[in-house]
Amino acid sequence: MSENPTAIVVMGVSGSGKSTIGRRLADALGYAFLEGDDMHPPANIARMSAGVPLDDADRVAWLEGIAGWMEAQQASGRSVVVACSALKRAYRERLRQAGPAVCFVYLRVGHQELARRMRGREHFMPPELLGSQLATLEEPGVEESALTVEANGPVDEVVARVLRRLERQGPPGAPVGGGVQRRG
């Protein structure tokens, strides 16, 4: 419970490590975690599984569900980490409306490494959709105050890098000089 709950949205294309890094961040910070993929309606999962990319209309209900969850956590004073692709600026704008301290961490990973990771796992998202993910992605602009983190390296390194950046800069809405603190 916090008077100024924070929401950290770990974003990026499929395979960038949102779930892996997001869970680890939530554990390290003692925040609740939401796997954004769990909020997709079954029709969206069916589309992606069939190799069909989602479009804006497909993503509306999904984003509303995630934003609603974030708003409920915010109202209860709980800080959260959310793994959500948030590929377009407009999607991020919607999620930003969920509270005063919504911060995006963009995991940037090279194309080759993304393809390698997607080929190496059992998942509903087929590697063939990587091209459309990259084509849809609008990387956060400087005016969005997102933290862009190079995320090609080992998981431990990426987690440590994100935590350092959060501690140094703090999310929007954090008290001046009051970056996110690790648990323990």
Ligand X SMILES: Nc1ncnc2c1ncn2[C@@H]1O[C@H](COP(=O)(O)OP(=O)(O)OP(=O)(O)O)[C@@H](O)[C@H]1O
Ligand Y SMILES: O=C(O)[C@H](O)[C@@H](O)[C@H](O)[C@H](O)CO
Could you count the other beta carbons within 10 Å of the beta carbon of residue 28?
Answer: 18
Taking CB within 5 to 8 Å according to partner kind, which of ligand X, ligand Y, none is near residue 4?
none
Q: Among 66-74, 95-103, 114-122, 169-177, which window interacts with ligand X (CB under 6 A)? A: 114-122
Handedness of CA 92, 98, 103, 107 (dihedral sign): negative
Structure-block tokens of residue 23: 């869970």
CB of 127 to ligand X, least distance (A): 10
Q: Provide the β-strand partners of residue 102.
A: 7
Size of interface with ligand X, in residues (CB under 6 A): 19
Site map for ligand Y, 84-123, x if CB under 6 A? -x-x------------------------------------
Q: Rank residues 75 and 155 by Cβ distance to ligand Y and give the closer one.
A: 155
Q: Among 38-46, 57-65, 93-101, 151-159, which window interacts with ligand X (CB under 6 A)? A: 151-159
Interatomic CA distance for residues 13 and 35, integer angstroms: 14
Please name which of 99, 137, 122 lies closest in space to residue 16, comparing C-alpha atoms: 137
Interatomic CA distance for residues 143 and 122, integer angstroms: 37
Q: Rank residues 115 and 174 by Cβ distance to ligand X and give the closer one.
A: 115
Helices 42-49 and 56-75: crossing angle in degrees, nearest 10, is 130
Interatomic CA distance for residues 63 and 172, integer angstroms: 21
Q: Rank residues 83 and 170 by Cβ distance to ligand X and give the closer one.
A: 83
Contact between 69 and ligand Y (CB under 6 A)?
no
CB 92 within 8 A of CB 86: yes
Contact between 132 and ligand X (CB under 6 A)?
no
Taking CB within 5 to 8 Å according to partner kind, which of ligand X, ligand Y, none is near residue 59?
ligand Y
Q: Which stretches of the chain bind ligand X, using CB under 6 A?
A: 12, 14-20, 37, 83, 85, 117, 120-121, 125, 151, 154-155, 158
